[in-house]
Chain A
Amino acid sequence: MREFTLLIWPSLILGAGCAYALLSPGQGVLWRPGYALTFLLIGFWGTHLVLQATGHRGDEYLLPLAFCLTAIGLTFIGRLDAHLAWRQVTWTAIAILALIVTVTAGRDYQRWLQYPYFYLTLGLFFLVLTVILGTRISGAKSWLTLGSFQMQPVEAVKILMVLFLANFLEIKRELLSARAGVAAWGPLLLAVALALLFLVIQRDLGSALIILTTFLAMLYVATQRLRFVLGGGLIFAFGVLAAYHLFPYLRVRFGVWLNPWPVAQAAGYQVVQGLFAFAGGGLLGTGLGLGQPEFIPAVATDFIFAAIGEELGLAGGLAIICLYILLAYRGYRAALRAPDGEGLLLAAGLTFLLTFQAFVIMAGVSKLLPLTGVTLPFVSYGGSSLVASYIALGLLLNVSAAGWNEQR
């Protein structure tokens, strides 16, 4: 019942976005926001009904939170690029279907976690495939192209990695904490190192950072040893240092982060335009459609948070941050209530994965951290990211449902 009530919010946001698109001249014709609205509302409430009908007892906050983020994202994508909007509506539908499959077919997550090495192999296979056949788009060679269809396998790899780690870390927990755990450490470090290596070759530093940090977070939760994390952080620091000397593009990135102004018309253009957008927003923003975020390259994908910052201001940015904090809270809560260690690690890993990726890109576009091009989960334009995020959400729902059943 709570979920039902909460779903009003994303519906209202979508309604507002649709009204804006209908009222602003020239927009409605391109992507028929009225149809999109109907379509998506059916998707939102339909998901709720499916969960109800199948007796799924998952967390009632998670779904409305994700839908709120997606609704804000769609509103902005519609405002920024009408051509992308309809595609994103389609992707949202596919993502919702993926979520429904996950919560119905995959409800017994323990059964699905029994194949860690399958996930690991599949993940590494995706990465190798991308390294060999990948297409380079704006710096990172992280895309697979099939005709006119493009996807980013790395989005799936992140989840596969968490699936692998949840099972592996739970089983080898004692062994890893013990000093003589070479047999356990060997495959683990090899797997992570290989994944990172492939990502660095693709120049997808954002995903490499996210996978490494998620690994360290899960390792810490599993072993409760801070020194593993510190050790990992140290190795990472050395890795960054080595990469800094090896790859010129990394030096450029870093230089832009420290001071983008001398290269404001070159390498620093995107970051500087993002900063102008945030500055233009101020406290309350210019209002939807009244800002000029179209100056920012990749504004519908990586830089969508800057567009939100300009048109909804600090207030809007803080609202997005609050949504992610709430998402993290519900996700970690599900982890705490999980009936088993695997469920705990799975929920903790996925929650951290989603929220940390959100943090990395929000901090990157606002120049708090060096910019790495990843999507803002649930919000940015991009099919692979959206589908992967909703599958992760479905898995979280399943863990929370198991916790509920346990407590009964």
Chain B
Amino acid sequence: MNRSLQKLAVVTLLMFLILAGYLGYIQVIKGEELFFHPQNPRLARLESERMRGVITDRQGKILARTVKEKEGLRREYPLGEAAAQVIGYASNRFGSSGLEAAYAGELLGIKGWARFKNLAAQLAGRQPRGADLSLTLDADLQDLAYRLLAGRRGAIVALDPRTGAVLALASSPSFNPNNLAGEMARIAARPGGSPLLNRAIQGVYPPGSTLKPVTAAAALGANTAVAGGKFVCPGFLEVNGRRLHCPHPHGTVDFSQAMMYSCNVTFAKMALEVGGENFVRTAESFGFNQEIPLELPVLPGRLPPSSKLNANELAEIAIGQGEVTTTPLHMALIAAAIANDGLMMRPFIVESVKAFNGRVIWQVKPRVWRVTTGAEVAKIIRRAMEAVVARGTGQAAELPGVRVAGKTGSAQNPQGKAHAWFIGFAPVEAPRAAVAVIIENGGAGGEVAAPLAREVLAKAIGVVD
């Protein structure tokens, strides 16, 4: 029986070795991720004991800080409602959200070595303190964007197309993070408007005509001669017996004019010409059906695979209607990619993490996220988008002395009036800022969204140099 007994002993040993390996996995490798699960009751105590780090904007203006009071620690948000969703909140009672949740480990000082340093500080009787976050946001621009939304349901995103740095990420309606208890009671009593929702990254909308630059990229990518072609618009396009309309017949238009007047017929024709496979591939290169990397959770832009698209659906999607949906951040990225010669940079909000003594623990390095289309094609689209603002539907975004490019959109939706969209960038010769604006059920993009984009662009190009 000795042989079988030895085997049993080996099995017993293996059993414990597997357990030991697994424990290492959940405690060390997966440990932090598990620990910061919002349902972990341990976070609440940590929150009441620890000084969270300070969050500042790109100029060093304070966006969130902890102050000591008689009753304990209180978190303060100087920007209030204007940055409530992106900064988020950290509360014993209501948990945490936004960057306060995403960077809880750094801000509370319990990630990596900081954990041991703070443990030592605690044992020595000193107040443990977390690391500080330095953001790419600009407090004034963020505030301006929020005020421009003026309580309407909508969002504004501004980016630096050269790096992917997020300059503003505003969502409305909002809430005051300095008075969470009151705000939560108000929201519970009068639901509607979803003020906690960050529409810039979690709001999903049909892009409407702001998708046309992507359609153009698909057509031009297959054949650059499209740029010099002529198109005839009789006011409708019949596809398999179903008609797709323009508001009125545009007659004969060239590529730039089609963009300027946002001619549905022409763009539908272009998409049908290149085919579903080409179109979907281009859209995916612009980030559709992809997880968008950001420090905060972003809902992905979606469209069906080409194998499931018939001609009618393709024509509809080409003009941003039907089964295509996206978020304001994604549309800002699309504008930024066209501004940046087709290179879509990975978006980011946190520029660096610093220990409280100012030592940089981590710093972002701008990276290309997607290669969308060639520089040549991007240039053609930029010129057409400049025409949109100079002479087309987007004239309300015009700025004196600055070349602005853009595209308007009025996305039909089942909830009511069209969503007013505008995406754009400036200055055209060397873009420093890209923007996406949406006002839910606002009506025509050129009238409602473009003036807002104008203000944001004017300020944004002053913010970055």
A interface residues, Cβ below 8 angstroms from B: 217, 220-224, 264-265, 272-273, 275-276, 278-283, 287, 292, 295, 309, 313-314, 317-318, 321, 324-325, 328-329, 332, 335-336, 341, 344-345, 348, 351-352, 355-356, 359, 362-363, 366-368
Asked if B361 CB lies within 8 Å of chain A CBs, one says no
* Chain B residues whose C-beta falls within 8 Å of the C-beta of A318 in the assembled complex: 20, 23
Pull 21 A–B residue pairs with CB atoms less than 8 Å apart, ordered by A. A221-B8, A224-B1, A272-B39, A273-B41, A275-B34, A276-B41, A279-B32, A280-B35, A280-B40, A282-B27, A283-B28, A292-B41, A295-B42, A314-B23, A314-B24, A317-B23, A328-B13, A344-B5, A351-B12, A359-B19, A362-B19
B interface residues, Cβ below 8 angstroms from A: 1-9, 12-13, 15-16, 18-20, 22-24, 26-28, 30-35, 37, 39-42, 45, 115, 119
Question: Is the beta-carbon distance between A321 and B27 smaller than 8 angstroms?
Answer: no
> With A317-B27, A344-B5, A355-B16 given, can you name 7 additional A-B contacts, CB distance below 8 Å?
A217-B8, A224-B1, A278-B26, A279-B35, A282-B115, A283-B27, A283-B28
Chain A CB count within 10 A is highest, among B2, B18, B23, B35, for: B23
Question: Is the beta-carbon distance between A222 and B1 smaller than 8 angstroms?
Answer: yes
| A135 to B: closest C-beta gap in Å | 30
With beta carbons under 8 angstroms apart, the residue of B1, B12, B115 that contacts A341 is: B1
CA distance A2 to B280 in the complex (A): 75
| A18 to B: closest C-beta gap in Å | 21
Question: Is the beta-carbon distance between A309 and B27 smaller than 8 angstroms?
Answer: yes
* Chain B residues whose C-beta falls within 8 Å of the C-beta of A359 in the assembled complex: 15-16, 19
Chain A CB count within 10 A is highest, among B6, B9, B32, B33, for: B9
* Chain A residues whose C-beta falls within 8 Å of the C-beta of B31 in the assembled complex: 278-282
* Chain A residues whose C-beta falls within 8 Å of the C-beta of B8 in the assembled complex: 217, 220-221, 332, 348, 352
Interface of A is mostly: helix
Question: Is the beta-carbon distance between A276 and B35 smaller than 8 angstroms?
Answer: yes
Question: Is the beta-carbon distance between A352 and B1 smaller than 8 angstroms?
Answer: no
| B313 to A: closest C-beta gap in Å | 34
Q: Given A220-B4, A328-B9, A344-B5, A279–B19 Cβ distance below 8 Å?
A: no
Question: Is the beta-carbon distance between B3 and A224 smaller than 8 angstroms?
Answer: yes
* Chain A residues whose C-beta falls within 8 Å of the C-beta of B7 in the assembled complex: 220
* Chain A residues whose C-beta falls within 8 Å of the C-beta of B1 in the assembled complex: 221-222, 224, 341, 344-345
* Chain B residues whose C-beta falls within 8 Å of the C-beta of A351 in the assembled complex: 12
* Chain B residues whose C-beta falls within 8 Å of the C-beta of A345 in the assembled complex: 1
Question: Is the beta-carbon distance between A281 and B27 smaller than 8 angstroms?
Answer: yes
| B122 to A: closest C-beta gap in Å | 9
CA distance A351 to B5 in the complex (A): 11
Question: Is the beta-carbon distance between A279 and B26 smaller than 8 angstroms?
Answer: yes
Q: Given A220-B4, A336-B5, A264–B35 Cβ distance below 8 Å?
A: no
* Chain A residues whose C-beta falls within 8 Å of the C-beta of B115 in the assembled complex: 282
Q: Nearest CB to that of B44 among chain A residues?
A: A292
| B92 to A: closest C-beta gap in Å | 14
| B23 to A: closest C-beta gap in Å | 5
Q: Nearest CB to that of B45 among chain A residues?
A: A292
CA distance A272 to B42 in the complex (A): 12
CA distance A345 to B8 in the complex (A): 12
With beta carbons under 8 angstroms apart, the residue of A223, A265, A313, A324 that contacts B16 is: A324
CA distance A345 to B2 in the complex (A): 10
Question: Is the beta-carbon distance between A275 and B5 smaller than 8 angstroms?
Answer: no
Question: Is the beta-carbon distance between A321 and B19 smaller than 8 angstroms?
Answer: yes
The 7 nearest A-B residue pairs measured at CB = A279-B34, A279-B35, A332-B9, A224-B4, A314-B27, A276-B40, A279-B31
Question: Is the beta-carbon distance between B13 and A275 smaller than 8 angstroms?
Answer: no
With beta carbons under 8 angstroms apart, the residue of B3, B16, B28, B33 that contacts A321 is: B16
* Chain B residues whose C-beta falls within 8 Å of the C-beta of A335 in the assembled complex: 5
* Chain B residues whose C-beta falls within 8 Å of the C-beta of A220 in the assembled complex: 4, 7-8
* Chain A residues whose C-beta falls within 8 Å of the C-beta of B12 in the assembled complex: 325, 328, 332, 351-352, 355-356
* Chain A residues whose C-beta falls within 8 Å of the C-beta of B4 in the assembled complex: 220-224
Question: Is the beta-carbon distance between B39 and A368 smaller than 8 angstroms?
Answer: no
* Chain B residues whose C-beta falls within 8 Å of the C-beta of A336 in the assembled complex: 2, 5-6
CA distance A304 to B334 in the complex (A): 53
Q: Nearest CB to that of A325 among chain B residues?
A: B16
Q: Nearest CB to that of B39 among chain A residues?
A: A264
Q: Nearest CB to that of B43 among chain A residues?
A: A276
* Chain B residues whose C-beta falls within 8 Å of the C-beta of A324 in the assembled complex: 16
CA distance A272 to B39 in the complex (A): 9
CA distance A323 to B15 in the complex (A): 14
Q: Nearest CB to that of A348 among chain B residues?
A: B5
* Chain A residues whose C-beta falls within 8 Å of the C-beta of B16 in the assembled complex: 321, 324-325, 328, 355, 359
* Chain A residues whose C-beta falls within 8 Å of the C-beta of B19 in the assembled complex: 321, 359, 362-363, 366, 368
| A221 to B: closest C-beta gap in Å | 5
* Chain B residues whose C-beta falls within 8 Å of the C-beta of A273 in the assembled complex: 41
CA distance A253 to B93 in the complex (A): 31
Q: Nearest CB to that of A294 among chain B residues?
A: B41
* Chain B residues whose C-beta falls within 8 Å of the C-beta of A348 in the assembled complex: 5, 8
| B91 to A: closest C-beta gap in Å | 19
CA distance A344 to B2 in the complex (A): 9
Question: Is the beta-carbon distance between B42 and A325 smaller than 8 angstroms?
Answer: no
CA distance A80 to B13 in the complex (A): 30
Question: Is the beta-carbon distance between B5 and A321 smaller than 8 angstroms?
Answer: no
* Chain B residues whose C-beta falls within 8 Å of the C-beta of A283 in the assembled complex: 27-28
CA distance A48 to B31 in the complex (A): 42
* Chain B residues whose C-beta falls within 8 Å of the C-beta of A321 in the assembled complex: 16, 19-20, 23
* Chain B residues whose C-beta falls within 8 Å of the C-beta of A222 in the assembled complex: 1, 4
With beta carbons under 8 angstroms apart, the residue of B3, B6, B13, B22 that contacts A366 is: B22
* Chain B residues whose C-beta falls within 8 Å of the C-beta of A317 in the assembled complex: 20, 23, 27
CA distance A324 to B32 in the complex (A): 28
Question: Is the beta-carbon distance between B23 and A292 smaller than 8 angstroms?
Answer: no
Question: Is the beta-carbon distance between A221 and B27 smaller than 8 angstroms?
Answer: no
| A321 to B: closest C-beta gap in Å | 5
CA distance A206 to B39 in the complex (A): 28
Question: Is the beta-carbon distance between B5 and A221 smaller than 8 angstroms?
Answer: yes
Chain B CB count within 10 A is highest, among A264, A278, A335, A356, for: A278
Question: Is the beta-carbon distance between B42 and A292 smaller than 8 angstroms?
Answer: yes
| B116 to A: closest C-beta gap in Å | 8
Q: Nearest CB to that of A265 among chain B residues?
A: B39
Question: Is the beta-carbon distance between B5 and A278 smaller than 8 angstroms?
Answer: no
* Chain B residues whose C-beta falls within 8 Å of the C-beta of A282 in the assembled complex: 27-28, 31, 115
Chain A CB count within 10 A is highest, among B3, B19, B30, for: B19
| B235 to A: closest C-beta gap in Å | 52
CA distance A314 to B25 in the complex (A): 10
CA distance A345 to B16 in the complex (A): 22
Q: Nearest CB to that of A324 among chain B residues?
A: B16
